[in-house]
Every structure is written in C-alpha cells, then in structure tokens.
C-alpha cells in the first residue's frame, strides 16, 4: 500500500510546489511620467519559492514590456519599470496592466471585464474652461457634450457636439479636464446653447493599472495599428457598450462634413478620417442628423468611410442653421461634427 501511495505523494508535492500561489501585488504609484526619468515599483509576494514571470500589457492585451522571465524568487520580488517598452522606447500615454505568473498561479486582472458607470460632473466653468469630476477608482473615461432634452420615455435626446475625452485613462480622485467650450467644428460655443449637457461615463481600469503621462511625440492609437504579436486576451464574439473592444474599434474617428444647401435639401458629404476610420465604418451603426438640435433624419449608413446624405429641409425657416451629424456605432463610439448652412438666399 505504501509503495502505491509514494508516487501519488510525490506527484502531489510537485504539483503543490509548482502552484506557488500569488499572494499579493502592489504598485508604488498609479501614474508617472517616464519622460522625466520617473519609475514605478512593483512588489509581488508568492507563497514559498518559485519562478516568476512579469509582463506589462497594453489595454488590448499585447505585451509591451517583460520585466521578469523565469526569475527565481524565495517569496518576494521587487521590480522597477522605467516606462519603456521592450525596444527601449518610452511608451505613449495610456494605462498598462500586469500579467504575473508563478507555476500554475496567474495574476491577470485585465482578463476580467468591467462594467461602465456614470459620473456626475462636479462643476464646469466657461470662464476658466475647467471641467471637474471625481472618480471612485482609476477608470477609462468617456466625456461628451451637446444639447439635449428628455423625451416622453425619460431618455435624453439631442446631438453630441463635442467629445472631450474619448476612452482615456484617468487616476482615481478629483480630475480636471480643460475644454474651451467649442464643438468639434470649432464654430459653436456649446455652453451657450439651450439645454447644454455634459455626460461622463467611466469603466474601471484593471486592478493595479499603471498610467503613463508625458509623451508628446506619439499617441497610443497611432502606434496600435503597427503592433506586432498577438493579444493574450480571449477573443470576444459579442460586445456590450464599449466592453471588450480594442482601441481601434473603441475610439471614434474624426468626421468631416461638406455641405451644400438649397431651399428644400442640404446635401452632406461625410468623410471619416484617422487610424480608426476604416474599422469604424464597418461597425453596425445609425446616422442621426439634427438641424438646430432637432432630429431631422435617421438612417443606416453604408459601410464606407465616405457617404452622402440628403437632408430634407421643408418646414425649416429660411436663414442660417446648424446641422449636426452623429455617426453612432452600435458598439459605443460616436463620430460627431457640425456645419453651418444658409438657406436664406433660396426662394421657397
């Protein structure tokens, strides 16, 4: 009997040693500026001893930096990150998460999806151009402004006129955003409009995320299209609002509008621009057109970065009007812009 148990006991002991569960992970600071030579310290505690692997991942699960590869530890390891990628370059401004493995144990918080929540603005001053709000935890933030009223069902209706922050990471606590108050086109001072609103939505960042700031040479979205390798995250076949999207699907492209108006119709030539334009154009979407913040048209756009829309203007008084377009993806991103038209020269 003992001879039969010995192999089982040996196997159990080996498995127990290889498990080396990760007991605790701690970062010295939630954000830092690598361009100034700042660093962050990462403390990892595991049960017993074993081999440790520590990687920093971008928001889409791609490995950016390997800090430790099969490093032997006796239960506690301290690592430092200088904000550089494996190729030596300073990373762009973004949030980076940890993937730590030791034996059969894994610390992989980015693999756990988080739900979006709403945030109430503390204050906005058109004089200083400062918007203030408070985050309970470090989060990825989405802020839009426009003119909207509640419909019969209690939902807000009206055009998005400006995206102030487009799914960017922010640390927990009081946050200040600078905004001059103008819409995407730069021709409308949004706070002066009737029914001015600001909507803030946020999604918690993975536990122990590290936010980097200070890179003025490149943006994360510019570099994302040329990433090499593959994501370590599981493939998602369905998406809730903004959940599980890569940056190339999650951030709206710039929308350009060229308009020609007659007495009865405004012809809008719409063009999507930027690194996310092509993928955004293939997402299921709805196109909303507003005249002076009133919805005039709703249609399904073609899966193309360029499209033309004819907007009926019957019933619209002659004169100068603001035409706003919201190209709204079913997955969450909204490409928005506005243009002025003048119908006063056309006889009716």
- Alpha carbons 245 and 239: distance in angstroms, whole number: 7
Q: What is the pLDDT of residue 239?
A: 64
Is residue 66 domain-shared with residue 25, that is, in the same domain? yes
Is residue 47 domain-shared with residue 69, that is, in the same domain? yes
| Per-residue tens of pLDDT for the chain, all 348 residues | 434 433 333 333 333 334 558 999 999 999 999 999 999 999 999 988 789 999 999 999 999 999 999 998 888 999 999 999 999 999 999 999 999 999 889 999 999 989 999 999 999 999 999 999 999 999 999 999 999 987 777 777 899 999 999 999 999 999 999 999 999 999 999 999 999 999 999 999 999 999 999 999 999 999 998 898 999 998 876 666 788 899 999 999 999 999 999 888 999 999 999 999 999 999 999 999 999 999 999 999 999 999 999 999 988 899 999 999 999 999 999 999 999 999 876 443
- Decide if 84 is inside a domain: yes
Is residue 159 domain-shared with residue 200, that is, in the same domain? yes
Q: What is the pLDDT of residue 155?
A: 75
Is residue 96 domain-shared with residue 133, that is, in the same domain? no
**SS3 state of residue 141:** strand
Q: Which two tokens stand for residue 140?
A: 């990825």
CA nearest 133: which of 167, 177, 84? 177
- Decide if 48 is inside a domain: yes
Q: Any idea which residue has 């890179």 for tokens?
A: 215
Among 204, 221, 237, the domain boundary falls at: 204
- Alpha carbons 36 and 41: distance in angstroms, whole number: 16
- Decide if 105 is inside a domain: yes
- Decide if 157 is inside a domain: yes
CA nearest 86: which of 58, 65, 61? 65
**SS3 state of residue 277:** helix
Is residue 144 domain-shared with residue 96, that is, in the same domain? no
- Alpha carbons 27 and 248: distance in angstroms, whole number: 28
CA nearest 200: which of 294, 115, 122, 125? 122
- Alpha carbons 268 and 31: distance in angstroms, whole number: 43
Q: Which two tokens stand for residue 308?
A: 């033309």
Is residue 191 domain-shared with residue 169, that is, in the same domain? yes
CA nearest 40: which of 22, 51, 52, 54? 54
Among 204, 225, 245, the domain boundary falls at: 204
**Tell me, what CATH number does 287's domain have?**
2.60.40.10
- Decide if 216 is inside a domain: no
- Decide if 248 is inside a domain: no
Contact between 328 and 299 under an 8 Å Cβ cutoff? The reply is no
Is residue 40 domain-shared with residue 104, that is, in the same domain? yes
Quickly count: other Cβ atoms within 10 Å of residue 44's Cβ: 23
Is residue 133 domain-shared with residue 199, that is, in the same domain? yes
- Alpha carbons 251 and 225: distance in angstroms, whole number: 13
Q: Which two tokens stand for residue 54?
A: 């520590």
Q: Any idea which residue has 């100068």 for tokens?
A: 320
Q: Which two tokens stand for residue 251?
A: 């951030």
Is residue 75 domain-shared with residue 155, that is, in the same domain? no
Say how many residues make up the chain.
348
Q: What is the pLDDT of residue 345?
A: 61
**SS3 state of residue 279:** helix
Contacts 24+ apart (CB under 8 A), 233-238: 233/60, 233/61, 233/110, 233/111, 234/111
**Tell me, what CATH number does 152's domain have?**
2.60.40
Among 88, 110, 132, the domain boundary falls at: 110
Q: Give me the phi and psi of 278, to 5 degrees please.
A: -60, -45
Contact between 270 and 257 under an 8 Å Cβ cutoff? The reply is yes
What is the reported pTM? 0.89
Reduce the secondary structure of 80-112 to three states and give it as a string. Answer: EECCECCCCCECCCEEEEEEEEECCEEECHHHC
Q: What is the pLDDT of residue 281?
A: 97
- Alpha carbons 57 and 38: distance in angstroms, whole number: 19
- Decide if 315 is inside a domain: yes
What is the span of the domain harbouring residue 170?
115-204
Q: What is the number of structural domains in the chain?
A: 3
* Environment class of 172 (CB within 10 Å of its CB; exposed 0-12, middle 13-18, buried 19+): middle
Is residue 100 domain-shared with residue 119, that is, in the same domain? no
Q: What is the pLDDT of residue 237?
A: 66
Q: What is the pLDDT of residue 118?
A: 97
- Decide if 223 is inside a domain: no
Alpha helices in 51-199 (DSSP H): none
- Alpha carbons 325 and 328: distance in angstroms, whole number: 9
Q: Give me the phi and psi of 336, to 5 degrees please.
A: -135, 145
**Tell me, what CATH number does 20's domain have?**
2.60.40.4070
CA nearest 206: which of 96, 110, 95? 110
Is residue 106 domain-shared with residue 122, that is, in the same domain? no
Is residue 99 domain-shared with residue 126, that is, in the same domain? no
243 CB contacts (<8 Å, ≥6 apart)?
113, 114, 115, 116, 203
Q: What is the pLDDT of residue 348?
A: 39
């Amino acid at each position: 009997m003992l001879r039969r148990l010995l192999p089982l006991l040996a196997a159990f002991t080996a498995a127990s040693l290889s498990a080396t569960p990760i007991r605790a992970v701690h970062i010295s600071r939630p954000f830092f500026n690598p361009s100034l030579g700042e660093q962050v310290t990462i403390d990892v505690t595991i049960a017993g001893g074993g081999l440790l692997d520590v990687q920093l991942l971008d928001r889409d699960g791609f490995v950016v930096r390997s800090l430790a590869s099969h490093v032997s530890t006796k239960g506690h390891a301290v690592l430092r990150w200088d904000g550089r990628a494996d190729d030596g370059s300073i990373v762009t401004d973004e949030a980076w998460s940890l993937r730590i493995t030791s034996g059969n144990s894994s610390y992989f918080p980015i693999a756990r999806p988080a739900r979006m929540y709403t945030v109430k603005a503390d204050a906005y001053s058109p004089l200083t151009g400062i918007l203030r709000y408070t985050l309970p935890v470090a989060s990825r933030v989405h802020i839009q402004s426009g003119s909207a009223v509640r419909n019969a069902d209690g939902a807000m209706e009206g055009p998005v006129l400006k995206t102030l922050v487009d799914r960017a990471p922010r640390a927990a606590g009081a946050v200040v955003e600078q905004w001059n108050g103008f819409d995407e086109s730069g021709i409308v001072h949004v706070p002066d409009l009737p029914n001015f609103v600001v909507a803030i939505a946020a999604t918690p960042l993975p536990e122990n995320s590290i936010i980097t700031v200070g890179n003025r040479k490149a943006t994360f979205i510019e570099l994302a299209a040329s990433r090499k390798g593959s994501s370590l995250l599981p493939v998602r076949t369905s998406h809730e609002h903004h959940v599980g999207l890569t940056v190339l699907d999650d951030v709206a492209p710039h929308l350009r509008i060229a308009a020609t108006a007659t007495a009865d119709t405004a012809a809008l030539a719409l063009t999507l621009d930027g690194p996310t334009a092509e993928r955004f154009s293939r997402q299921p979407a709805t196109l909303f057109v507003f005249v002076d913040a009133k919805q005039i048209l709703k249609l399904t756009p073609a899966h193309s970065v360029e499209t033309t829309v004819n907007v009926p203007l019957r019933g619209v008084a002659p004169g100068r009007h603001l035409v706003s377009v919201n190209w709204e993806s079913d997955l969450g991103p909204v490409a928005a812009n506005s243009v002025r038209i003048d119908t006063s020269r056309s006889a009716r």
